[in-house]
């Protein structure tokens, strides 16, 4: 089985994914890291040198490769992955894949992201918590229809890592 975690940046996909993989004795794979390794460059450099269209095509290519060739993995997607190409159909049409949307409220996402904005080029220019709230709100409004096509939605507000992990495991048993 392939367990796909999706959601907005800062929703905890990587942190939770590593824990879930450990509990299930699966491998953890971050799609952006996989792309970076295959393309031998960082995602930021790939965007700058080849552009977003090239990146999105490669993202779909590698997502398809992972789904077709790997098993027993927890896969963390980039925040934009579900919104491009046919990626959610690719994920949801495969009987070996179970997808989870990690849903976190806009205020909590904004607070997390503002505290960690230096590590995220997309939001590093945002200078106030109010601007972050507005940015995240607009982005989530655009992306939510894609995120909501995941097979399961897990609300992570006020949930510990252990609680979210237990919620996911109940769907898998």
Partner residues linked to 102 by β-bridges: 154
How much is the pLDDT for 118?
66
Q: Is 112 annotated as a binding residue?
A: no
Residues 6+ apart with CB under 8 A from 50: none
How much is the pLDDT for 46?
86
CA 12 to chain centre: 8
Q: Is 11 annotated as a binding residue?
A: yes
**In 3-state terms, what secondary structure has residue 27?**
strand
Domain boundaries along the sequence of the chain: 2-164
Q: Is 7 annotated as a binding residue?
A: no
Residues 6+ apart with CB under 8 A from 62: 31, 34, 35, 38
Q: Is 14 annotated as a binding residue?
A: yes
The top-level CATH class assigned to 2-164 is alpha beta
How much is the pLDDT for 95?
94
Q: How far is CA 158 from CA 86, 105, 162, 169, in A?
A: 32, 10, 12, 18
User: Residue-wise pLDDT tens for the chain (173 aa)?
Assistant: 999 999 998 899 999 999 999 999 999 999 999 999 999 998 888 888 998 899 999 999 999 999 999 999 999 999 999 999 999 999 999 999 999 999 999 999 999 888 876 667 678 788 889 999 999 999 999 999 999 999 999 999 999 999 999 999 999 97
Q: Is 163 annotated as a binding residue?
A: no
- For 7-111, strand residue ranges (E) read 27-30, 73-76, 97-103
Count CB atoms within 10 A of the CB of residue 155: 13
CA angle 79, 81, 84 (to 5 degrees): 130
Q: Is 78 annotated as a binding residue?
A: no
Q: Is 12 annotated as a binding residue?
A: yes
């Amino acid at each position: 089985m392939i367990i796909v975690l999706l959601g907005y940046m800062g929703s905890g996909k990587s942190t939770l994914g590593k824990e879930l993989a450990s509990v299930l004795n699966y491998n953890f794979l971050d799609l952006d890291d996989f792309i970076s390794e295959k393309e031998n460059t960082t995602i930021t450099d790939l965007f700058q040198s080849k552009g977003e269209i090239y990146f999105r095509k490669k993202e779909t290519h590698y997502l398809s490769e992972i789904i077709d060739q790997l098993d027993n993995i927890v896969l963390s997607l980039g925040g934009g992955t579900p919104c491009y190409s046919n990626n959610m159909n690719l994920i949801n049409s495969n009987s070996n894949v179970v997808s989870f949307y990690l849903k976190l409220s806009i205020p909590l996402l904004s607070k997390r992201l503002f505290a960690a904005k230096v590590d995220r080029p997309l939001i590093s220019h945002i200078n106030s918590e109010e601007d972050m709230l507005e940015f995240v709100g607009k982005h989530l409004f655009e992306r939510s229809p894609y995120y909501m096509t995941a097979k399961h939605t897990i609300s992570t507000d006020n949930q510990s890592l252990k609680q979210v992990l237990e919620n996911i495991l109940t769907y898998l048993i």
